Amino acid sequence: MHETTMLLIEVGTLLLGLSFLARGARRAGLSPIPLYLLAGLAFGHGGLLPLSASEEFFEVGAEIGVILLLVMLGLEYSPSELVTSLRKSARSGVTDALFNAVPGAAFALLLGWGPVAAVALGGVTWISSSGVIAKMLGDLGRLGNRETPVIISVLVIEDLAMAFYLPLLTAVAIGATLVEGATTLAIAVAAVLTILYVALRHGQLISRLFSAKDAESLLLGVLGLTMLVAGVAEKVNVSAAVGAFLVGIAVSGQVAHQATQVLTPLRDVFAAAFFVFFGLATDPRDIAPVLLPALALVVVTTGTKIATGYIAARRAGIGVPGRWRAGLALTPRGEFSIVIASLAVSAGIEPRLAPLATAYVLITVVVGPVLMRLTDSPRFKAAVRRHARPTP
């Protein structure tokens, strides 16, 4: 059979299957991300029915998926909101990094994976899933809650920190010298500051490049600018994902709102391809040996994430129920954790990092939404009231 024919059959069958998985996940109140990963594992290397013709397609789709995920995250925040979040939640951002990156790094060292893998695994456990959390906040009707701005602030700081972390990880992964690493980081810092300056001072000029009234032109324009900046960022050793995120920050106003509308379906398609490809590239037989370590890491870092949100909400003057909701909401990890693991594995750091990250994300994405719903149960509310009641 012709290779193109097989490509169409494989891609069509897999996308159709993913649609049923996504619908089932939504009905169960879960994120479809773990199901996409499982689908990739089932049809990847060592899976039940390995795909042959479409793997390259999903590899390219995965690259586009990362770019779209990040530009969509950037579109959620205006430059002024970004600066305000940084000012108000800087201390919480430091607490978040210490509480959640250190356990992952220490875990890698305990497993004997070395310092470079420790830097990567620290990032995997540090970053919460903005996509999963935003979806759950909307599904649970909590977007107007008092603790929600605290949650968003922590996520914004994490997303921005990736602009510096990802280039640093790339430099460390390829074995760059101290001077090369410092140069890469300096370029990343300069690029981030330049784009932030342009977004803050001249964001309207960038937005005027596009028309919010012409959906087709807007889709092509924003997508084209995002991929162009992402490619240039990659060329100067700054992550393409970071470049895409900063493009989203730079676009503002009605254009940003309309861009979100037209890019969302495209994001959903290629984001699914991204998670599927990560599963395709991971041999499910490699997950069994790291399943117990992944569970142990989930237990530890779920506790540290809850503490992070609780402390951040307390600093903002939120009541005890809101503190718990903030902490439990931050527990899912997702897209950035997979991006970090992909970078590490492609650089040949530690082959077991990919299956560990896959198992880790699968567990947190399933457990996270369950924990978020836990705060609505009568027993939990009663326990919180007893805890919050002042002792006589």
Q: What is the pLDDT of residue 85?
A: 64
Q: Report whether pLDDT(295) > 90.
A: yes
Report the run of H or E that residue 144 belongs to, with start and end: none
What share of the chain in percent tops pLDDT 70? 88
Residue with the bigger pLDDT between 323 and 172: it is 323
Tens of pLDDT, residue by residue over 59-102, are 888 888 878 877 887 787 777 766 776 677 778 888 999 999 99
Q: Categorise residue 387: left if φ over 0, alpha if ψ from -120 to 50, beta otherwise.
A: alpha
Query: Domain map of the chain by residue range?
Result: 56-375
Q: What is the dihedral of CA 107, 111, 117, 119, to 10 degrees?
A: 20
Q: How confident is the prediction for the chain on average, in pLDDT?
A: 81
- Section 277-296 average pLDDT: 82
Q: What token pair was written down for 41?
A: 């594992």
CA-based nearest residue to 165, from 354, 384, 336, 379: 336
Residue with the bigger pLDDT between 118 and 63: it is 118
Q: Helix 253-280 and helix 3-27: axis angle, to 10°?
A: 110
Question: Residue 209 has what DSSP assignment?
Answer: T
C-alpha radius of gyration, the chain, whole number:
21
Q: Report whether pLDDT(392) > 70.
A: no
CATH of domain 56-375: 1.20.1530.20
Q: Report whether pLDDT(136) > 80.
A: no
Q: What is the pLDDT of residue 391?
A: 47
What share of the chain in percent tops pLDDT 90? 15
Q: What is the pLDDT of residue 53?
A: 66
Q: Which amino acid is at 148?
A: T
Provide the sign of the torsion angle of the four alpha carbons 373, 379, 383, 389, taken in this order. Answer: positive
pTM: 0.75
